[in-house]
Amino acid sequence: MMPQPPAYWFGDGPVPAWARALAGLYGALVALRSRLYRIGVLRRHRVGVPVVVVGNITAGGTGKTPLTIALVERLRAAGFKPGVASRGYGRDDDSQARWVDAATPPADGGDEPVLIARHTGTRVRVDRDRVAAAKALVAAGCDVVICDDGLQHYRLQRDVEIEVIDGARRYGNERMMPAGPLREPVARAAACDFRVVNLPEPDSAAEFGEWPMRLQADDALPLRGGRPKPLSAFAGQRVHAVAGIGNPGRFFTMLRNGGLGVVPHAFADHHDYRAEDFAFGSELPVLMTEKDAVKCAAFANAWFYSVPVTAKLPEAFWISLLEKLGSSANVVAK
């Protein structure tokens, strides 16, 4: 489980000397590994179909899962048979590869893969070995593989790279882990085919060379079943807001922007929820992200709601992606 990041990652606070020292070592190892792949000492593997990698160069959440879901839906609409490969973080036993579908318990499949499977109905394979996961998807009939959170997994040869950026936090203090949030240097982003920025506010905009993405939330879905309730119906009310994601503040801000009185409850990313986690002391509606909700259905009461989001991007992005993917498909076929 990933705890909330230190304040100095995304703030102006001093970075401890031990963190700066380890960051230098980590950065050197990252550079060495990248070079070994670049010169061919470490081998990249093709799987026979185009591979689209969705990821980020920072630790923590940026909005990759909603974008992955949108990719599956748009590629399917364009005539592809997409499949999703994922590590499946948060599984009880991630040493075992397995297929994930809508009925898979999150403890077995991982919260994000289960969410993707429920939303799309597409083939989802979780495996530590992304190459093996991709090959399994191809054997199952998929003609394009989407690798969820796989930017640093160079062993799997990719045809399209999509970097997802948190528009509010960006690259933080621009230091390598653990002194900062970077998994790779900022310069790595320039090599990606598409840079998608998850905009934090309705009036915020992407920078030059970036594609804007907005996460749109319209309804709240009762976890125990029933009709959706417009999110606007909670405006002016106090609610318990629950988020165990990479950046819980983004969820809380979205609800506040909708006029809700948010009582925030932030948990570690991929938190394994128990009923006692919700002993808040007041019977207010409990609104949570979909990623959290997939793990709470067993003990939810009538006050528990999931707030699904939909990734919205310019049509020009999808046109550019399909053109790039079409060119990649021709290269793979040869």
Q: CA nearest 301: which of 326, 280, 325, 328?
A: 280
Residue 181 DSSP symbol? S
pLDDT tier for residue 334 given thresholds of 50, 70 and 90: very low
* Residue 275, pLDDT above cutoff 50: yes
pLDDT tops 50 at residue 296: yes
The yes-or-no verdict on residue 289 having pLDDT over 50 is: yes
| Residue ranges covered by each domain of the chain | 37-213+313-329, 218-308
Cβ neighbors of 123 (< 8 A, separation 6 or more) are 83, 84, 99, 137, 140, 141, 142
| Residue for token pair 């045809």 | 159
Contact (CB, 8 A) for 320 and 299:
no
What pTM was estimated for this model as a whole? 0.89
Q: Which CATH class is domain 37-213+313-329?
A: alpha beta
* Residue linked to tokens 């991709």: 134
* 64-68, 114-118, 180-184, 271-275: least confidently modelled range: 271-275
Strands 229-230 and 261-266: unpaired
What pLDDT is attached to residue 140? 96
Asked whether residue 266 carries a pLDDT value surpassing 70, the answer given is yes
Residue 16's pLDDT is 95
Query: Over 50: is that where the pLDDT of 331 sits?
Result: no
Reported confidence tier of residue 294, pLDDT bands at 50, 70, 90: confident
Q: Can you name the residues that pair with 261 across neighbouring β-strands?
A: 238
